[in-house]
Amino acid sequence: MASYAANDMRVGWVISHNGRRYSVTSITKVKPGKGGAFVQADLRDIDTGNKGGDRWRSEDKVEKLMVEDIECQYLYSDGTDAFFMNLSDYEQFTMAVDSLGDQMKFLAPEMLVKANFVEGQPVSISLPKTVTAIVEETEPALKGQTATASGGKPAILDNGVRVQVPVFIEQGEKIVVNTETMEYVERAK
């Protein structure tokens, strides 16, 4: 086990917390106007499948378990399980869709991911840092609006994810989205 600041925690990590092993399914970093910053994480117990969450101050330590990262390819989902193939030996394995949380929205057939194994059991995946998606729905830009307008506008992507995009992004455009923060990065090239 290795100790890290809670602020360094990432989706897909497997941590030891209160004597149990959990995979981190989502993270929210909060800096309130009053008081210290904290990290709120949604957790899934890798032994029982139970979901929960906890909160740490930014400077608190979390124990990251040593996991074996294996390069895999996402194949498909049947609604209950997601199917993956280990690229080193071509063995297939499954993970429960609900254990993957919001990561499921970004998975596309043939996408390469890292599967995290603890004691020979797949417990989580690590997505690529960014993915390309198509803007399925957004408001048209108004005449006179500039790219420097603050805040942007809401958009719904082809995978169902909602993001804020700059006002110059139109419906049907391909954009790059950060899978950890679910934020717009740039137009796809």
Region class of 79: left (phi > 0), else alpha (psi between -120 and 50), else beta: left
Q: What percent of the chain has pLDDT over 90?
A: 33
Alpha carbon of residue 5 to chain centroid? 19
> Which band of pLDDT confidence, cut at 50, 70 and 90, is reported for residue 181?
confident
Q: Does residue 150 register a pLDDT over 70?
A: no
For residue 132, the cross-strand partners are 176
Cα of first residue to Cα of last residue in the chain, in angstroms, is 40
CA distance 11 to 91: 25
Judged against a pLDDT cut of 60, whether residue 178 lies above it is answered with yes
Burial class (CB in 10 A: 0-12, 13-18, 19+), 39: buried
Residue 148 has pLDDT above 60, yes or no: no
Q: Which two tokens stand for residue 138?
A: 């957004």
Q: What's the whole-number average pLDDT of the chain?
A: 86
User: What does the pLDDT read at residue 124?
Assistant: 83
Q: Residue 31's pLDDT is what? A: 87
Tokens 């420097």, located at residue? 148
For residues 26 and 55, give the distance between their C-alpha atoms in angstroms, rounded to a whole number: 12
- Is this prediction's pTM over 0.75? no
Closest CA to 6 of 42, 56, 45, 44: 56
The closest of 77, 80, 23 to 47, measured between CA atoms, is 23
Segment 68-114, tens digit of pLDDT: 889 999 999 998 999 999 999 999 999 988 878 778 888 989 999 99
